[in-house]
Amino acid sequence: MHNRKRVIITGASSGIGRATALRFAREGWDVCLVARREPLLRDLRAELAPGQHVIGAGSYDDLATADRIEALIRAEWGSVDALVNCAGMFIGADAIESPLDQWRQAFDLMVNGAVYMTRLAARLMSAGGRIVHVTSIHGERAERMATGYSMAKAAINQYCRGLALELAPRNILVNAIAPGFIDTPMSVVNGVNELESDWFRQNYVEGHHLPLRRAGRPEEVAGVAYFLAGDDATYITGQVITVDGGLTITF
């Protein structure tokens, strides 16, 4: 068991994070599952392929959570080979009229969480480590009521570029994945799944804006994360890999 690779996955309780945990475990990695809802993490751990999997429950934008996870990994594993930061939250807010705290909430949660988790992972990594942040096509696109969210994703993309430079002397590679429409619980807004709406069907399935004419599956993003953490991605760093079915190539 001591020869197995080890990965921290945030946002592991659902969506892309859950699919990523399942993929890495299936490929023989030990997984540290991070999310706020511990019961869901325990259920997921029971589904994973056998391994020395651990649970680090808590909000990843809380520095105390990062400290607990670092202590847990030092005690259980000693080191880590990769971080895949899938955690995220969409909070819509008017850019001008909303309370500043509400508007900043998505930004503060995701950017602070990315920094805390990256710092703890980097302290536990040796040469050859990998850091992957799942961001969004919102990092380069605009949408009404989503400026705080989009700014957070753009900031994390740039964080990856800066980290790629600063961690290159340690041969730690840092990249981002920018998904488009992916069929996850985040697609449900105010009780409505946007992927099942007339708006999505007319614009993206029947329309011309989405070449593949469907939403992506969480497993399709997890596969890219696994590639970036693996032996075939040894010369890729500082990149944002778009996984969007062609959405951003169209007018």
Average of per-residue pLDDT across 15-28:
97
Tell me, what's the pLDDT at 192? 82
Amino acid (one-letter) located at 20: T
Catalytic (active site) residue 226:
no
Q: Which helix (H) or strand (E) holds 8?
A: strand 6-10
Residue 116 has pLDDT above 50, yes or no: yes
- Set 116, 149, 159, 204: catalytic member: 149
DSSP letter at 136 equals -
Mean model confidence pLDDT for the chain: 94
Which residues touch 7 (CB under 8 Å, ≥6 apart)? 24, 29, 30, 31, 32, 80, 81, 82, 83, 84, 229
Tell me, what's the pLDDT at 1? 44
Q: How far apart are CA 127 and CA 60, in angstroms?
A: 25
Q: How far apart are CA 191 and CA 209, in angstroms?
A: 25
Q: How far apart are CA 165 and CA 141, in angstroms?
A: 25
Average of per-residue pLDDT across 182-201:
85
Q: Which fold has domain 6-180+216-243?
A: Rossmann fold (3.40.50)
Q: How far apart are CA 202 and CA 250, in angstroms?
A: 15
Q: Provide, for the chain, the percentages of residues in helix, strand and coil under a 3-state DSSP scheme, each rounded to the nearest 5.
A: 45, 15, 35
pTM exceeds 0.75: yes
- Is residue 178 a contact partner of residue 224, using CB atoms and an 8 Å limit? no
- Tens of pLDDT along 6-15? 999 999 999 9
Tell me, what's the pLDDT at 229? 98
Where along the chain do its domains lie?
6-180+216-243
Q: How confident is the model at residue 2 (pLDDT cuts 50, 70, 90)?
A: low
Task: Calculate the alpha carbon distances from 107 to 100, 170, 184 in Å.
Answer: 11, 29, 20
Instruction: Quickly list H helices, the chain.
Output: 15-26, 38-47, 63-76, 100-124, 147-167, 198-200, 218-229
Torsion of CA 15, 17, 21, 24, to 10 degrees: 110
- Tens of pLDDT along 67-113? 999 999 999 999 999 999 999 888 889 999 999 999 899 889 999 99
Average of per-residue pLDDT across 215-232:
97
